[in-house]
Amino acid sequence: MLTIGLIGGMSWHSTMTYYQRLNERVAATRGGHASAQVALQSLDFDQIRSCQLDGDWTASGALLAQAGRRCVAGGADLVAICTNLMHKNFPDVERAVEVPVVHIADAVAAVAAREGWRTLGLMGARWVMEETFYAERLARHGIDVVVPDADERVEVDRVIFDELTRGRLVDSSRANYVRIMRRLGDAGADAVVLACTEIGLLVSTDQAPLPTIDSASAHADHLADLALGLTPLPRLTAA
């Protein structure tokens, strides 16, 4: 079994989901006392959040690259960033390490392909919804996206950073998210990707008005399958 390097702490609430899901997947596959081999670097999210607010993606890229190198120094055979938004710095981590870095949107796309979904509603931090780095990765797999309208994007982003990344689950915010999901379905989405790794903590599958892909769970399952050799590792990208 390969060792999975996790760059977490952004926030630590969803990193817990990764750790639990990885171990559940490995235990279910291997049986007995089997558990995942993990090298975790948990960052101080306050530093990362400051970089986000300042628009200093160079500084955040340096922090994530350093964390990726520490994962590999700790024995990681592959590396993953445990957050959707910080895949803005995915190329920085790829350049920093000589092992495969596994993109969260590729794991999301694999779930969508398996289910036959070609258009996904995209809910996440405003950068994820408004910039192209995430949608373009999904487009590589033939998947289109629809996003909430401007006011809804403000609300989705507010809930993520004022509540979810601080461990707060608010009923009124859940109701707003469900309403936004319903509108994405009306706009043509076959399913909604929860493209913030904390959203699944707020809205469960049975509460959502249309199918969802929990990005954290999809990513963790994919990482476990890679570590177990059930799925081939992605090829290294030349620096």
Beta bridge partners of 9: none
Does residue 71 carry a catalytic annotation?
no
d(CA 145, CA 213): 13
Catalytic residue among 83, 165, 197, 212: 83
Q: DSSP 3-state assignment of 25? A: helix
Q: How far is CA 86 from CA 11, 51, 105, in A?
A: 11, 11, 12
In sequence order, what are the residues at sequence separation of 6 or more whose Cβ sits closer than 8 angstroms to the Cβ of residue 186? none
Does residue 197 carry a catalytic annotation?
no
d(CA 101, CA 96): 10
In sequence order, what are the residues at sequence separation of 6 or more whose Cβ sits closer than 8 angstroms to the Cβ of residue 55? none
From the list 48, 46, 17, 20, the residue with the least C-alpha distance to 166 is 46
**Using DSSP, how many helices (H) and how many strands (E) does the chain show?**
11, 7
Catalytic residue among 15, 196, 197, 212: 196
From the list 118, 213, 57, the residue with the least C-alpha distance to 221 is 213
Q: How far is CA 27 from CA 19, 79, 224, in A?
A: 12, 20, 10
Which residues are annotated as catalytic?
A: 83, 196
